[in-house]
């Protein structure tokens, strides 16, 4: 059961918040059929992991919106399909020689091959605020790796976002915030096996020829 939505800025019907719009695109799904585990080669060459990849290509007129309501639905879906284990996560056993190999992670790619508009909404007390981002040229992307196996020290999520010819604006009286030839954001989150232990977040932000506006 979905919770009552936070009031969105754009709807397409009663209680429906539009989060994605693309005039033309393609969805590609690639998954290897896992084979048997073999002996490591004598020269020590590593064997690639079993491939599991989802690619979404946006080729024309793309708009993306994300805010409190959308994040709430994402959390509900995540908890339904991959509920939190309120205990120590068991270590994923590596298959031995002759056993079927396992899928260790899923790789998601969002390729923006067209002009793209991105709206991020967030609440400031009771007021809805907006960060509007435009990428007028093709080539921006979102690249993420989500774990489906647990190591002795936990598991890791990786996210890389690259935005070209970025223009960021707010809904404040003076709207310009950032302009840059490119903005690259890298996020690495390490989750320990115990569900309520401290997580470690590594965030790296780099920009080419940025202009940042502050008003006091």
Q: Cα dihedral sign for 61, 67, 73, 77?
A: positive
68-88 residues labelled b (16+ CB within 10 A) or e (exposed): ebbeeeeeeeeeeeeeeeeee
Answer whether 5's CB lies under 8 Å from 72's CB: yes
CA distance 165 to 179: 7
The percent of residues above 90 in pLDDT, for the chain, comes to 70
Q: What is the structure's pLDDT at 150?
A: 96
pLDDT for 94-104, tens place per residue?
999 999 999 99
CA distance 54 to 50: 14
CA distance 112 to 150: 31
127-135 and 176-191 as β-strands: parallel, antiparallel, unpaired?
unpaired
pLDDT for 148-201, tens place per residue?
999 999 999 999 999 999 999 998 888 999 999 999 999 999 999 999 999 999
Q: What is the structure's pLDDT at 5?
A: 39
pLDDT at 216 over 80: no
Residue in 159, 212, 167 with CA at minimum distance from that of residue 185: 159
* pTM for the whole structure: 0.86
Maximum mean pLDDT: which of 2-11, 76-85, 126-135, 189-198: 189-198
């Amino acid at each position: 059961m979905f919770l009552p939505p936070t009031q969105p800025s754009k709807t397409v019907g009663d209680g429906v918040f539009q989060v994605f719009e693309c005039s033309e695109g393609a969805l590609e799904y690639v998954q290897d059929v896992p084979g048997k585990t073999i002996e490591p080669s004598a020269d020590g060459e590593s064997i690639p992991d079993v491939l599991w990849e989802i690619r979404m290509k946006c080729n024309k007129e793309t708009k993306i919106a994300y805010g409190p309501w959308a994040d709430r639905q994402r959390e509900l879906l995540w908890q339904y399909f991959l509920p939190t284990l309120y205990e120590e996560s068991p270590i994923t056993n590596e298959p031995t020689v002759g056993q079927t190999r396992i899928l260790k992670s899923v790789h998601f790619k969002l390729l923006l091959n067209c002009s793209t508009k991105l709206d991020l909404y967030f609440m400031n007390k009771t007021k809805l605020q907006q960060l509007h981002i435009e990428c007028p040229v093709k080539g921006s992307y979102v690249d993420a790796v989500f774990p489906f196996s647990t190591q002795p020290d936990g598991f890791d999520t990786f996210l890389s976002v690259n935005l070209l010819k970025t223009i960021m604006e707010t809904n404040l009286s003076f709207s310009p915030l950032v302009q840059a030839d490119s903005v690259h954001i890298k996020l690495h989150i390490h989750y320990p096996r115990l569900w309520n232990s401290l997580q470690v977040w590594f965030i790296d932000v780099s920009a080419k020829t940025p202009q940042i506006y502050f008003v006091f």
